[in-house]
Structure 1
Amino acid sequence: MDQVRDELVRLLQDYAVEAQRLQQVFAERNGMHPTDLHALLAVMRADAATVPLTPGRLGAHLGLSSGATTAVIDRLERGGHVSRVPDPRDRRRVIVHVGRAAGQVGAAFFGPLGVAMDEMLTGYDAEELMAVKRFLGQMNDTMREHRQAFSA
């Protein structure tokens, strides 16, 4: 069992490195800083979940100051990746939404990866996929808790 555990840790490390490299390539190809990509992903998730995302909430999610968050949003807005819209419930606040350019560059870069991932996943049955889902969910929780323990 120790060998399986060690192999899982190695594979997770390899995945983390490859994911980081992929994010870096995407960011560089689209004139973004890696933090811009993390911000864009947070905005995309908030929009998909129909959860209003204010600059303050985005900054808290990214661990950035308000000034740094404003700079990230400004860069993304200049590139057409996000837009600021007045909050219909409180016009003093703005909500950050995904812009048209984000979907276009995302689909062009990540679309082929999605197709390849779908093909790879056809080799797993429903029970295996549920086990992987449970594992990854618990691993993300464990990593988040560990990070938060050191950043508190």
Structure 2
Amino acid sequence: MYRPRDTRRGHLVAEIVADLRRYSVDAQHIGHAFANLHGLNATDLQALIAVMDAELAGDPITPGRLGEHLNLSSGSVTALVDRLERGGHVRRGRDTADRRKVFLRYADRGAALAREFFRPLGQRTDAVMANFSDEELEVVHRFLTVMVGSMREHRDDVRTARPETPRRPPG
């Protein structure tokens, strides 16, 4: 954990770390509210975000890649995708070049639900970003890109070190 020194930079870094933590917690609360509203669990929500991110990047995700991303077995991924497909959140599609390959895509119904729920947040986000210059936004983007990479590295390290069976606290 970062321990700030009695410097302006130390205080600024400590404030940024606290802001990131608060942002993360608030984002989780909003995500859980969306999930609860639509009968989804935390893993369902993570899967939907992964499907959306892959589509936005122009590289639709396969069930296998989704399983790697979520650290799930193939059987768990199949059950997850089946559940999300039944709920109208995702759809399976075949690759036009290789019909054996399946891609997961956001279904129209699921995308509409997400747009409706997150539209006010998007409007707030747009209003906040309008107050920053392009140069400032470039710095923020660079910072967040590096922070996300660092967080993912740590997540992967934690997954690697985690024992196969969850430990329960004594008592």
Please state which band the TM-score falls in when normalised by the shorter chain: over 0.9
Please identify, of 82-91 and 14-23, the stretch whose mean Cα deviation from structure 2 is larger. 82-91
Question: 1:90 — aligned with what?
Answer: 98
Question: 1:123 — aligned with what?
Answer: 131
In the TM superposition, 1:1-152 aligns within 5 A as: 1-152=9-160
What is the one-letter code of the residue matched to 2:97? R
The structure carrying a bigger helix percent of its residues is 1
**Alignment partners' CA distance in 1, 2:159 and 2:38:** 30
What is the one-letter code of the residue matched to 2:155? R
**Alignment partners' CA distance in 1, 2:60 and 2:120:** 30
The structure carrying a bigger strand percent of its residues is 1
Q: How high is the sequence identity, in percent, across the aligned residues?
A: 45
Cα 1:50–1:137 change in 2 (3 A) is: closer
**Alignment partners' CA distance in 2, 1:27 and 1:76:** 12
SS, match of residue 132 in structure 2: coil
Q: CA RMSD in A?
A: 1.3
Q: Which structure 1 segments of 5+ residues have no match?
A: none
**Alignment partners' CA distance in 2, 1:50 and 1:133:** 20
Query: Displaced runs of 4+ in structure 1, greater than 4 A?
Result: none
**Alignment partners' CA distance in 2, 1:67 and 1:10:** 38
**Alignment partners' CA distance in 2, 1:147 and 1:49:** 21
**Aligned positions, number:** 152
**Alignment partners' CA distance in 1, 2:55 and 2:22:** 30
**Alignment partners' CA distance in 2, 1:146 and 1:85:** 33
Does the Cα contact within 8 Å between 2:51 and 2:60 map onto a contact in 1? Answer: no
Q: Which structure 2 segments of 5+ residues have no match?
A: 1-8, 161-171
TM-score under structure 2 length normalisation = 0.83
Cα 1:100–1:128 change in 2 (3 A) is: same
**Alignment partners' CA distance in 2, 1:146 and 1:48:** 24
